[in-house]
């Protein structure tokens, strides 16, 4: 037991040091993409049901650092904002497989060829899925109608929104905390697997190529794995003898498919579109996995051995990697502390109803924050339970779309509490439920 613990800590240390510099660089690029991603690109390049539109959408989606949970509301918002169904599916397939952060981490752990292969595969499968959807899903049933509503990823053209402060805040706090939980889980699982699985496990027990691929595929499809967190797991499994093609299947299917995503796509886009989505990912994963194993030079992947993880990229000094790890861990700890304090503060704050109930003299002007009142008269407020919100993209998507309803002044979505508080002169619960459900979340009624 003591030997396992020592081995686990050793592997965890090396994994963290190998990933941290590239994660920090990826988070910075994530902030840049978030702040400077122009909304007009969506209208110009995603609106048509043709091959070019699918290609444009895949190219837009590949560098975007959206976690798996953030891709769904973003893709739905694109669709509701005028993007074609094929373009939306192309985005939903290509985006979760990559992201600038996960590509950099892939380079740090698996090498440059694998990093480039991920980008190419994401592009090809995204385009195929989009084209296939355009051909088969024209008459597909879906429960939503397209309305011109802003995407949750659109950025304000104001100078203040394009400041370095906003870039750093999003990249090193908001986006980091969106994936922090799954990043931690992924690294811990990878370190545990490295300590437990024998080096010759796959050659001894799962040496059939197709069987190993199908096993990885069956394990990957229903589970939630973000693109970045799946990389250390793939690296460790390759060190234990897993083929590069099977590892690619994990990197493709893990982030792009899970039970929640499958359910939401069927609900929003329909059964035919879901079929196109799954066939493109699963078929593409197997085809490209076999292609990697049989047609690409073997020396591209010879670096994947028991010593690779500990000695890759020695061009980065050890002190720099350790400093990057300290910074990354500190940012995560700070993020969780801030999240806890914000949650505690939110729970302690009175709702608008409570403030009104405790005020016995409505003849005098009342003083409230902007999130509570903005009025020439008293605004109503209601709180609703909404399940499925997991990140800042979910929060932005819900708030942006609900604010478009007539009579709604302010919206405050809280993913941690599964709560959405709405205030305005007119609150139509039926319309609110329709909007929330159309975005892929579960409306559970009033709180």
Name the pLDDT band for 203 (thresholds 50, 70, 90).
low
Give dist(CA 326, CA 238) in Å, integer. 27
**Residue 87 CB contacts under 8 Å (≥ 6 apart), including other chains:** 46, 47, 48, 49, 53, 54, 56, 57, 78, 130
Q: Check residue 161 and give its pLDDT.
A: 47
Helix (H) or strand (E) holding 386: strand 380-387
Strand partners, 387: 442
Tokens 């299947």 belong to which residue? 249
Judged against a pLDDT cut of 50, whether residue 318 lies above it is answered with: yes
Name the pLDDT band for 387 (thresholds 50, 70, 90).
confident
Which has the minimum average pLDDT: 9-23, 311-325, 372-386?
372-386
Judged against a pLDDT cut of 70, whether residue 370 lies above it is answered with: no
Residue 313, phi-psi category: left (phi > 0), alpha (psi -120 to 50), beta (remainder): left
Give dist(CA 206, CA 211) in Å, integer. 7
| Interstrand relation of 380-387 and 408-414 (parallel, antiparallel or unpaired) | unpaired
**Residue 314 CB contacts under 8 Å (≥ 6 apart), including other chains:** none
State pTM to two decimals.
Answer: 0.71
Start-to-end CA span in the chain (Å): 48
* Residue of 399, 393, 427 lying closest to 413 (CA atoms): 399
Q: Check residue 357 and give its pLDDT.
A: 55
Give dist(CA 171, CA 27) in Å, integer. 5
Name the pLDDT band for 325 (thresholds 50, 70, 90).
very high
Domain coordinates of the chain in residue numbers? Answer: 2-333, 349-446
Give dist(CA 249, CA 257) in Å, integer. 11
Helix (H) or strand (E) holding 88: helix 85-97
What percent of the chain is predicted at pLDDT more than 70?
Answer: 77
Give dist(CA 191, CA 239) in Å, integer. 12
Residue range 349-446 in CATH 3.30.70.100: yes
| Mean pLDDT value across residues 398-413 | 88
Q: Is 364 exposed, middle or buried (0-12, 13-18, 19+ CB in 10 A)?
A: exposed
158, 290, 298, 299, 378 from 295: Cα distances, Å? 49, 8, 9, 12, 69
| Mean pLDDT value across residues 342-357 | 64
Instruction: Please answer whether residues 227 and 70 qualify as being in contact, where contact means their C-beta atoms are separated by less than 8 angstroms.
Output: no
Q: Check residue 2 and give its pLDDT.
A: 84
Judged against a pLDDT cut of 60, whether residue 32 lies above it is answered with: yes
Give dist(CA 425, CA 252) in Å, integer. 47
What percent of the chain is predicted at pLDDT more than 90?
Answer: 18
Q: Check residue 126 and give its pLDDT.
A: 93
Give dist(CA 114, CA 262) in Å, integer. 27
Q: Check residue 34 and give its pLDDT.
A: 73
Q: Check residue 271 and give its pLDDT.
A: 86
| Mean pLDDT value across residues 93-114 | 89
Angle, CA 410 vertex, CA 408 and CA 415 arms, to 5°: 115
Instruction: Please answer whether residues 293 and 209 qualify as being in contact, where contact means their C-beta atoms are separated by less than 8 angstroms.
Output: yes
| Interstrand relation of 442-446 and 419-424 (parallel, antiparallel or unpaired) | unpaired
Judged against a pLDDT cut of 90, whether residue 369 lies above it is answered with: no
Instruction: Please answer whether residues 17 and 321 qualify as being in contact, where contact means their C-beta atoms are separated by less than 8 angstroms.
Output: yes
């Amino acid at each position: 037991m003591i030997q396992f613990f020592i081995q686990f800590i050793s592997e965890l240390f090396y994994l963290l040091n190998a990933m941290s510099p590239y994660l920090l660089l990826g988070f910075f690029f994530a902030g840049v993409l978030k702040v400077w991603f122009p909304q007009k690109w969506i209208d110009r390049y995603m609106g048509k049901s043709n091959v070019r539109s699918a290609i444009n959408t895949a190219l837009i989606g590949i560098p975007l650092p959206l976690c798996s949970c953030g891709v769904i509301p973003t893709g739905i918002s694109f669709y509701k904002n005028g993007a074609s169904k094929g373009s939306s599916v192309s985005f939903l397939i290509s985006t979760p497989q990559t992201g600038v952060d996960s590509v950099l981490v892939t380079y740090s752990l698996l090498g440059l060829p694998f990093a480039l292969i991920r980008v190419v595969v994401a592009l090809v499968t995204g385009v195929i899925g989009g084209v296939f959807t355009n051909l088969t899903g024209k008459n597909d049933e879906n429960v939503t109608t397209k309305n011109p509503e802003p995407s949750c990823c659109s950025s304000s053209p104001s100078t203040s929104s394009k400041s370095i402060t906003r870039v750093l805040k999003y990249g090193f706090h908001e986006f980091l905390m969106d994936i922090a939980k799954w990043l931690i889980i992924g690294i811990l699982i990878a370190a545990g697997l490295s300590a437990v699985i024998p080096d010759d496990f796959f050659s001894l027990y799962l040496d059939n190529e197709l069987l190993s691929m199908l096993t990885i595929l069956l394990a990957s499809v229903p589970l939630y794995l973000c693109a970045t967190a799946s990389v250390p797991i793939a690296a460790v499994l390759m060190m234990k003898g897993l083929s590069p093609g099977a590892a690619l299947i994990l990197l493709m299917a893990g982030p792009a498919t899970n039970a929640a995503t499958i359910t939401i796509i069927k609900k929003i886009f329909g059964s035919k579109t879901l079929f196109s989505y799954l066939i493109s990912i699963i078929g593409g994963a197997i085809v490209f996995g076999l292609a990697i194993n049989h047609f690409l030079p073997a020396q591209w992947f010879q670096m994947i051995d028991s010593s690779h993880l500990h000695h890759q990229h020695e061009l980065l000094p050890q002190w720099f990697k350790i400093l990057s790890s300290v910074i990354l861990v500190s940012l995560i700890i700070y993020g969780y502390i801030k999240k806890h304090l914000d949650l505690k503060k939110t729970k302690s704050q009175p709702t608008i109803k409570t403030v009104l109930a405790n005020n016995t003299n409505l003849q005098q002007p009342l003083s409230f924050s902007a999130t509570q009142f903005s009025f020439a008269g008293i605004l109503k407020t209601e709180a609703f339970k909404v399940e499925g919100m997991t990140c800042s993209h979910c929060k932005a998507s819900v708030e942006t779309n609900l604010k478009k309803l007539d009579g709604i002044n302010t919206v405050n979505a809280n993913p941690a509490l599964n709560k959405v508080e709405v205030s305005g002169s007119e609150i139509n619960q039926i319309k609110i439920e329709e909007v929330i459900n159309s975005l892929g979340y579960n409306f559970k009624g009033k709180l």
